[in-house]
Chain A
Amino acid sequence: MMNKLLSPAKTEVLFMGNEAIARGALEAGVSVVSGYPGTPSSEVIERLSEVAHERNLYVEWSTNEKVALEVAAAASFSGLRSMCVMKQNGVNVASDFLLHLSSSGTRGGIVLVECEDPGALSSVNEGESRYFARMLEIPLLEPANFQEAKDLTKWAFELSEKIRNVVMLRSVTRMSHASGNVICGKLPQKFRTARFISDGPVMDPLRGPVVSTPVVIKHGLQQKKLETAVALFEQSPFNEYYGPKRPELLIVTSSACFLYSREAVEILSLQKRVGILKLSCTWPLPVKLLKKYLRLTDKVMIVEEVLPFLEENVKVAAMDMIRDTGIKTFYGKMDKTFPSAGELNPEIVMKALGRMMKVRPRSPHAGYLREVQKVASKIAPRAQTFCPGCPHRASFWNINTALKLDGREGIVCGDIGCYAMASLWPEIGFHTVRTLHSMGSGTGLASGFAKLSAFGLDKPVMAVCGDSTFYHAVIPALINAQHNKADITFIVLDNAGTAMTGFQPHPGINESAIGEPLPSVDIEAICKAIGARVAVSDPFDLEETNRILTSFMAERGSMKVLILRQACALSPEKKGKKQYRMKVDEELCLGDQCGCNRLCTRIFRCPALTWDRKKKKAVIDDVICAGCGVCHFICPQKAIIKTEAAGK
């Protein structure tokens, strides 16, 4: 079985957008790849880690995005090509270094790949990072199909080397996690060697020290580099026009929105009336190219996600060329033709386009639509929930029980991971978590809440975080809490990997991105070194965990740490293996007659613990039960029987 990423030149393969980006980097001869996992970006590094040996790559899951960018930059300074990959809000984390990096300049080609999530399909924000390219004055590229995701990535390295600065490549969920046909190019035969030279004069870009000083002179130089990039953008085949010579309306678009726009035009049969200018080089805008197409018509529609970034830039450019191109009417986010929140799709574009061009898409007859309405009213919603066997369900059961017994309405601050669901939907995780922000911020918030007792807020304060989050951004907040004597109970939900994004290793795992042994950095030892009192428990052991939590809450005046250790039910070592075989004893279960008011199915909420509607009793769905055994402890009748699973 050959790895698809190594397919020979000229073969046509189905690549996910992220795989196409990975292949583009290989074709560019990338040597060092780093990043921090985050949907929808993680597959770029995952796929590259699988071919690290064959392609002589160093692949690293770094502690966080800022460190990842620093690791990649060191390779660039040494003449290698490098790539750093992250999700949209990762750029915020990396941005302080990025500001200085863009100012010092780079040597070997370096590309910052950031994958955004319009509509927040798997994020707790729909942050925009395109503005960073404008603010930090670096070029921005946005592939609009799968072939381009590969080709543009490869070209990004060449551009970076030409202007000696970092280049940002932006993808979105509907590109990164979509797939399409890609024709592969050549993989280079030679690998580069690293050399770091820094004994030349300060203004020598290849031999001097790599610094952002003298600031004003280097800043001016950085802006010249951007002008060089624009000159290349003006000629770039990646920006294309599709449509008639004199369209009634010009659509200016980028990224996945190009595919939505083209489909909308085709479905409404507007190919002869509407032109599409697809820009893949989006910052700085190639203004001469833009002028050529703005001249074609007076009406301009800008289709993009999420904020009006392209729209703003096109309007500013149009203002400067108004004598040549004439007055335009713009349709986009600012006049509310499109929403500025949430993702777009072909229908949204089709509706806007239809209204403007006075055409209507065909729709099924009324009788069919009536039947559809009837069916729609009968479908129960399917909300997300913790998986069967998820340690988080047990952890939150423990935390919630301890808080209830305590009775002071303690506050729990949440963090980023699957366990964040305990704050997003009240019915998941027993309505336990009350704040949710960025990586590590739960602990900082808890540190702050704990200091409000002088102002009358005297409640127990807790923070939860996952193991990967702990390393990423929690440690400074933890030191802050300890140093400032914040009275908090800090709980690590250690499920042995970066579970939500697909079990990427982190510093607590004794293995690298490519599976080589590494020393693990122990969470317990770090917390102890900070000076906190630390306990470790198995969340599936309800009794012991509850005992620790209760004693921690009673202890005032300092930070306490509880590490709840149990691997994710989907982790490779656990998946498909049951520790226990679970069964409901129909004699013991009193069903609706029991005073528990269906505690197991109504409150505990495990997808595998269901309700037999005919017998009116609880029943285990053996196909999806993970065999964690926790439900055995919650039934007051002890009707849920657990036996050691044999064999598996």
Chain B
Amino acid sequence: MNRQIRQLAVGLMACYVVLFVALNYWQVGRKQELDARFDNTRAVLREFNKPRGPIVTSDGIVAAVSFPAAPGELYEFRREYPTGDLLSDVTGYFTFAFGSTQVEREYGDVLTGSTTEQQVRSLGDLLGGDVDAAGSVELALRHDAQSAAKFLLAGREGSITVIEPATGAIRAMYSNPTYDPNTFVNADFEVAQEIITELQEAPGNPLLAQAYQERYMPGSTFKVITTGIGLEEGVLTLDTVFPDERQWVPPQTTDPIQNYNGSLCGGDLATVFARSCNIPFAKTAVELGPEAMVSGTEAWGIDEELPIDLPRPAASTFGDTGSLDQELPLLAIRGFGQSETQMVPLHMAMVAGTVANGGRMMEPYAVEATYDSADRVLDRTTPELWKTPISPTTAAIETGLMIGVAERGTASCCIALNGGIPVAAKTGTAELGVPSNPDLSHAWIVAFAPADAPQYAVSVVLTNVQSTADVAATGGRLAGPIAKGMLDYLLTGPGAQPTPAAPSGSLPEGSGG
């Protein structure tokens, strides 16, 4: 029988060799093909079932957090957004089937603890018994400022952006329409799909963070840029005087350009800036010429994606600049922010911030710092200079011009701050020129305060507002009070900081920065 037993041993051995070969076939040979199959959800599931750290505002309010799901739930963790729609423009959302956006997307590695640094650190922590490597993200945004912005906007379509001119830190960035990620992130596939599709097709695109992912015709707020270029190029000085005119015919055309409402407008630079005459800035743009104007706008960061630390930022545009020397009338119109000129609301806040910051345009940032699972700093945002479009002298001149707007000009109705804090501003009313609805416009204001020691720069835009026979939908009248409310809240209201904001916030003890 021993011979048979040996044969049996060989036979059984052969069986297991077959299994071993088959195992190699599936786990190594066809691995790539199987992993890539569309119905193979392992890779996505693994990512989704990792613990995910919280996103917290700079004043300590949790904007996104994960909880272990109850047994029997679809996924191992529930992602919740306690602030609802308040911060969804910045946090974004994180879903299993529909990807992720904003901070959830850009900082996904930190939140799941997958960055190399976190992996290395958690390796050390393994001995200490803590291997939950999930990191956390601290926003530069303040929950209270964001709430104030939402309150001031009062449901109207548009956005409010508040930055610190000296650092570029975004302290508030809220826009309507928006959405609440809680409605779909933990839902079944079909339900989530339905809600997301509905949001994608909704008017105003609620899923976009309009404040940095959308651009609008800036109207007269653009004159800050045109004036800046003119002053830098020597085409304008404080002594430049423009004649009182109702209309002006630019070269290469017979169609005249008019001031707002066809009014008579002229005077020295301070006067035409405060009254927001159109013709002087059209003339300035033409006098500068296409080349200087285009390179000037580029110096302000136009035609470049904003260097924000969030995904898919929009770029402001001066329109098609290919044949502007053949289209001087267009150049003239764009010079005061009409026609194809389009600005991102955040960019306009940065423009005001540049004037406030002595001509230095800082890179905007929404994330203050990232932390590992043990709350040790992984990375703290250091303010970075992006552009220097104007000299400190020019900035000082423009500050004076903008104070004039607030004190005697188009914003004087509405921007005077509580406690007499000096403020600088520029209004804009972008006429959209829709033939069927000529009174439709965007109402803008950019401002910063205190004008003598700027702490905050604000841009407010109310989009698609309608003028009526009685009330003109102007930036000063509509957006002005919102900017005032925001600045009052931040400077003298409940949101006032005890000390002026330090350049990079307070450093936690022991951090390497």
Asked if chains A and B come from one complex, the reply is: no
The interface of chain B, by Cβ under 8 A from chain A, is none
